[in-house]
Structure 1
Amino acid sequence: MPAFEPFRGIRYDTRSLDPTLVTSPPYDVISPNDRESLVDGSAFNVTRIDLPVPDPAQPSADPYRLAAALLTTWRQDGILVTDEVPAFTVHRMSSVDEDGVAHHTTGVVGALRLSAPGEGEILCHEYTTPKAKSDRLDLLGATDANLSAVWGLSPAAGLTDLLQLTEEPTLEFSADGVTHAVWVVTDPSRISAIRAAIEPHPIVIADGHHRYETSLAHRDRIRADSGEGTAAEFVMCFVVELSETQLSVGPIHRLVTGLGFGVDLIATLETFFEIEPFAAPATGVIHALEQAGSLALILPDAEFLLRPRPEMFTTTRDLDSSRLDHALASLTGIDVAYQHGVENIRSAVDSGAVDFGVLLRPVTVAQIIDIAEGGERMPPKSTFFFPKPPTGIVLRSLLDN
């Protein structure tokens, strides 16, 4: 079973720095414009390290090496400070949905021992794309640090209750409609209780498959050079109890370009779906799709429901992402991009930037468990967990632990 250990975390000195200005969303949801806004907001925003770009003033410099140098400088200058003793970090995210219902996700950040898929300790549920993985490997190799946590799910019953702390949080702030409360746990009895709850059970990777697979590749590279027993044997992981009450899973939709001239898209898709006009509600579009048992095709001048024809998907997983991959395989030369948010899809289609979009329904927690435990994986970008833990709450050095 997995080992889950406290570590000496690296944290912003929030006595002098505003956490809303130095933390950021995860790297894979940040657009170029978002990145520009974040780095303009603070000279110490973590995006400067976690999402490095070439420096026009040093065009020949490796951006990953520049990120590593910046991390070192911030630590030396006291912008980032290191825990004196190993600690767990309890993190609670609280938000209110569009219906006024409050949601809370409480988890604990620690160091999770890496285990290859198939060994039974760590279960992955989704394939990854190679480009993003190579980017993360280059960054990890340069910085020797976990800059953001993998999100893991644990079937440990009662873990949420165990993480309900009564002390004042070490850090509390709100950003993007989410309130974050953070506690640094160093008490040996609490550390033992958390480990005792988590370690008897396998961990399902909910989000951060790229980071997990990257960490495995980095571990193997370090083993070849230095043997086992280094900090590279572990990865920073945010562990949440596997419970419907703790998780909100949204869909990641599709944007398609490269549709050939004269291709009858409706006729092509009609082979796989029953198609009818979609009078989308002003709000709750995804709920409407769930009620209709359908995906939705978004065109510049119309929207349609796509109700899967069961006989056409007898060999695919019971997932919208799998069904759509199967249907789109009949269209040659297309490129598929991934985007969350209904309005983002509509905007891209209306602007003419893409040929069409498809809205998907969210995957359920039960489907994630079923696929992971069966040793299978969903297509890339099948799940979108929210709210996302921001990058910059805590970092983990592979040199200090």
Structure 2
Amino acid sequence: MAELKPFRALRYETAQAGPLDDLVAPPYDVIGPEERLRLRERSPYNVVRLTLPDSPKEAASSLRDWEASGVLARENRPVAWALRQTYVGPDGVARTRTGLVASLRVEPYERGLVLPHERTHREPKEERLRLLRAVRTQLEPIFLLYDGEPPFEVPGGDPELTAGGAELWRLDGAGIPETLADRQLLIADGHHRYETALAFHQEEGTPESAFMLVVLVSTEDPGLTIFPTHRLFRSSPPQSALQGRRERISDPKEALRELSTLPPGRAAVVRYEGGETELVLDGDGELDVHLVDRLGHEGISYTPHADQAVAAVDSGEAAAAFLLRPTRIEDVFAAARRGEVLPQKTTYFYPKLVSGLLFHPL
């Protein structure tokens, strides 16, 4: 059974550190060099100085100094937190997603308690492990999904923390995280950090090193959405990889409308190249991402916006665009339970979690 529990969070004291909106940031792996500089300039205490430091030594020194000066303070007792994020998605629709912030004992995937669905790479894990060794604090939460109704309600009244479109309330009900102990947990976002936490615990072997900071969201949450990640190719991919039926469509928007009406269970995508649009159906029992994965990865890039993908082809920036349906959450969970690793960028969970609201010392 998964072990989830409240934790004594470390968090910013805004009287010392300044407004929380100046201190938070997106997750480290979606921040480019220019945004990193902007965030560093926003505040001398912005979380990016910990999550994307010049060196692990710098991050550890900053963390010690901030605690000593009162910029960061530890909660008096362990609690879980309710998290609410209100956002407008790439489709222009406003939604609210609710999650539970808690401490999770990391377990090897073989035990079937925590399920991955994406392949990881050695270099990012090594870089994160060096940072974790230095700071000995979980700096950012990972995003997990579970089936079933959430075991809590967001408390009434004003949130205790608000920043970056996120709101947090303490949950004083005893046993709330433990009620999820019998659920399988799917990693939605944070595979590299989860495997880094496992490696760190294997090195340390202490009870404290076995836990990490997580946000858990029910698959039944109305604000939980997966958006598609469309593929762009710098040069035309080999058409021999597309063996199925093709249907010429007047334009990409009409093709996307037709694509959205197709039943699941067979891979289908919209191909846009040289001003021509076609609907491609192939691969019974496959997901759309399996079809485009057969095209290879040379010169590939990604965007969640279909109109941007089409514009890139029209401008000559890309040779071809392949437009996909969003992968269904139940299909991701089913593949993970079968032990399958899905292609890169199968899922695009939006919005990303906010870093800097809470830290989890080990």
User: Does TM, normalized by the shorter one, top 0.5?
Assistant: yes
Aligned residue in 2 for 1:295: 269
Instruction: Tell me the alpha carbon deviations over residues 370-401 of structure 1, each in whole angstroms, 9 at most, x when there is no partner.
Output: 11222222122211111222111111111xxx
C-alpha change, 1:350 and 1:24, in structure 2 (3 Å) is farther
Aligned residue in 2 for 1:195: 177
Is this contact kept in 1: 2:23–2:356, CA < 8 A?
A: yes
Is this contact kept in 1: 2:114–2:185, CA < 8 A?
A: yes
C-alpha change, 1:292 and 1:158, in structure 2 (3 Å) is closer
Q: How far apart are residue 270 of structure 1 and its match? A: 4.9
Q: How does 1:105-254 map to 2 (within 5 A)?
A: 105-159=97-151, 162-173=152-163, 175=164, 179-185=165-171, 187=172, 190-192=173-175, 194-223=176-205, 228-229=206-207, 231-243=208-220, 245-254=222-231
Residues of 1 paired with 2:345 and 2:250: CA distance?
25
Is the partner of 1:377 in helix, strand or coil?
Answer: coil
Q: How does 1:67-82 map to 2 (within 5 A)?
A: 67-82=59-74
Residue 381 of structure 1: which of 335, 345, 349 is its match? 345
The sequence identity of aligned pairs, in percent, is 29
- List structure 1 segments (4+ residues) > 6 angstroms apart after TM superposition: none
Gaps of 5+ in 1: 55-62
Q: What one-letter code is carried by the residue in structure 2 that aligns with 1:183?
A: W
Instruction: Tell me the alpha carbon deviations over residues 323-378 of structure 1, each in whole angstroms, 9 at most, x when there is no partner.
Output: 1112338xxxx243444333554565567665544332211111122112222221
Normalization by structure 2: what TM-score? Answer: 0.87
Q: How does 1:299-310 map to 2 (within 5 A)?
A: 299=273, 302=275, 304-309=277-282
Q: How does 1:268-283 map to 2 (within 5 A)?
A: 268=240, 270-272=242-244, 274=246, 276-277=248-249, 279-281=251-253
Residues of 2 paired with 1:120 and 1:362: CA distance?
26
Gaps of 5+ in 2: none
Residues of 2 paired with 1:212 and 1:378: CA distance?
17
Instruction: Tell me the alpha carbon deviations over residues 101-142 of structure 1, each in whole angstroms, 9 at most, x when there is no partner.
Output: 542211111110111112121122222233333332222222
Aligned residue in 2 for 1:92: 84
Instruction: Tell me the alpha carbon deviations over residues 172-192 of structure 1, each in whole angstroms, 9 at most, x when there is no partner.
Output: 24x4xxx3211133x3xx032
Is the partner of 1:108 in helix, strand or coil?
Answer: strand
Q: What one-letter code is carried by the residue in structure 2 that aligns with 1:395?
A: F
Residues of 1 paired with 2:91 and 2:84: CA distance?
21
Residues of 1 paired with 2:250 and 2:68: CA distance?
58
Is this contact kept in 2: 1:152–1:203, CA < 8 A?
A: yes
Residues of 2 paired with 1:267 and 1:137: CA distance?
41
Is this contact kept in 2: 1:156–1:197, CA < 8 A?
A: no
Q: What one-letter code is carried by the residue in structure 2 that aligns with 1:180?
A: A
Residues of 1 paired with 2:90 and 2:212: CA distance?
35
Q: What one-letter code is carried by the residue in structure 1 that aligns with 2:168?
A: V
Residues of 2 paired with 1:104 and 1:96: CA distance?
9
Instruction: Tell me the alpha carbon deviations over residues 63-83 of structure 1, each in whole angstroms, 9 at most, x when there is no partner.
Output: 222222222222222222211
C-alpha change, 1:146 and 1:287, in structure 2 (3 Å) is farther
RMSD: 2.8
- The size of the alignment, in residue pairs, is 357
Q: How far apart are residue 276 of structure 1 and its match? A: 3.0
Q: How far apart are residue 286 of structure 1 and its match? A: 6.1
Aligned residue in 2 for 1:57: none
